Structure 1
């Protein structure tokens, strides 16, 4: 309820009620509305032309954007470091691991391959920081792909290493008769005079002269392929080492293994004898690779010193008479 106002009329010496004119009242209202509109318009112009003036929400969004840019910068630095580490692993993989295990290096185009086809980053376009977002995601995708390639390569190397370990234990690498049991290394690999047939004949192995009953050892991990009496070799053991390697142990007096049995390098498999075409107790020893006879002198690196190996090499090269 509006207050009623009065004024004192000095002529009538009485109070009179103040009457407001309706037109003036509307004029005051219109003036107030116009002034409010002008003030709002002026404030809007000031706001639009002074960028430092921000609402609390805009300030929060700006801080969030700056934090995101900072995090993406840190992420890019981490990816750069990860890329350097990965490149070092790739270098060792191609130039050390794969060389040692005789595997072909991974082609550079396979390691560095990008992504073809549709635009993978279309959903990141149209923003103020689209370039930063797209570049970061692209680097991350390439890094992930290279890690997958390298991981598969290391899996392959691990499988090759396991196979290499089997190969190293399977290759014939020691003397089949210990030095303390040897009388002498009677005959080596090559053309020799046969003691019974009395003509020069290829001698496919090495003869180790030793007393009957001297122990004969497997020269590498293997499976017994044969353990039986034959005509020329007498009692014969053949070991299958895998990887194309086989070893023959002939003129034995006694078997210590049977066909199908697994043996380890250094395990006793027989005893020295003089069965078959033999003139005295000795072990005839042969090494076969992929079905071809090879010189056993190349397979004694596991238990001989350099001096002992030189002595054996000199003795094996002498063209004397074999014992079988």
Structure 2
């Protein structure tokens, strides 16, 4: 409660109450409000410039930000662990599973390819922790892609495993004629002297000399792809082509006669024809070829079901001699 002030009036010889004029009272009120505002502004400036001084909201936001940084760091560590596990799986996939099933390994470029083109992370730029967030997102995207590539690779390996039995049965793994004494192998794979034109040329198969009418056997499970007569075989004479699947084909040339028809399925060891002397041939024999993905390969590498180590050594020595072929 404000004090009431008086003054002594000498004329009336009495004390009178001091009355403040309304204009002056209003001025004093405005002056007080102004002083309060200025003081508040000064105090606010001082408050905001005090070092390490934070509002409760700022403290809450800071704690939340620190917690998010910690979570991102934990996520990055977990992703690093996942990458280590994935690299071990990829190594097994390339060096064990795909090798066992004779499949080409997946290149590092394919497994670890990045994401080119437009900036995928432009919406994450411009923040105090953009580098941390973008780095984590990139790592997660790359990990996801590698998992997808590895998953597809495992699907391929699964299919190869399911087809392994069929593959083993289809590979041409025996000699096309009975040749236990190893005396019927007349000419091997490689550069040989042509018996008619008398110059060295590539001999894409192996020649087995045998009397006309000697049975010729399918060297692996297959389907008869082609049967050609001399006028259509280009020097092969009577020719049978077997498709074993998996990119493998075998050729049986200069036959005397056929024992199969086109598109017929045959089993390893089944008689498909008989040795003859048809086409570009100088004596009764069987010209035998193995082709993989359309290219001739050395048939001697496929006799592992038919020869022991000693017999294989004998045939290797015979096949390596640069003699004259029979066709």
TM-score (norm 2): 0.52
The within-5 A match list for 1:11-26 is 21-22=19-20
Q: Is the 8 A contact 2:228 2:240 kept in 1?
A: no
Shift of 1:226: 6.5
Q: Distance in 1 between matches of 2:298 and 2:70?
A: 69
- Check 1:218–1:244 CA distance in 2 against 1; reply closer, same or farther (3 A cut): closer
Q: Is the 8 A contact 2:239 2:251 kept in 1?
A: no
- Check 1:140–1:115 CA distance in 2 against 1; reply closer, same or farther (3 A cut): farther
**Which of the numbers 304, 311, 319 marks the counterpart of 2:307?**
304
Q: Distance in 1 between matches of 2:82 and 2:45?
A: 50
The within-5 A match list for 1:90-169 is 101=103, 115=116, 120-140=120-140, 143=142, 147=146, 150=149, 154=153, 169=169
User: RMSD value over aligned CA atoms?
Assistant: 5.9
**Which of the numbers 187, 191, 198 marks the counterpart of 1:190?**
187
**Unpaired segments of 5 or more residues in structure 1?**
6-17, 192-201, 231-235, 278-282, 319-324
Question: 2:263 matched to which residue of 1?
Answer: 260
Aligned-partner SS, 2:67: helix
Shift of 1:173: 0.9
Aligned-partner SS, 1:189: strand
TM-score (norm 1): 0.53
The within-5 A match list for 1:31-46 is 33=33, 36-37=36-37, 40-41=40-41, 43-46=43-46
- Check 1:74–1:186 CA distance in 2 against 1; reply closer, same or farther (3 A cut): same
Q: Give the length in aligned residue pairs.
A: 268
Are 1:59 and 2:59 an aligned pair? yes
Question: 1:287 matched to which residue of 2?
Answer: 288
- Check 1:113–1:250 CA distance in 2 against 1; reply closer, same or farther (3 A cut): same
Question: 2:200 matched to which residue of 1?
Answer: none
Q: Is the 8 A contact 1:206 1:316 kept in 2?
A: no
Shift of 1:175: 3.9
Q: Deviations over 1:68-96 (max 9, x none)?
A: 21122223334444555666677778888
Shift of 1:220: 1.1
**Unpaired segments of 5 or more residues in structure 2?**
5-15, 189-202, 231-237, 278-283, 322-327
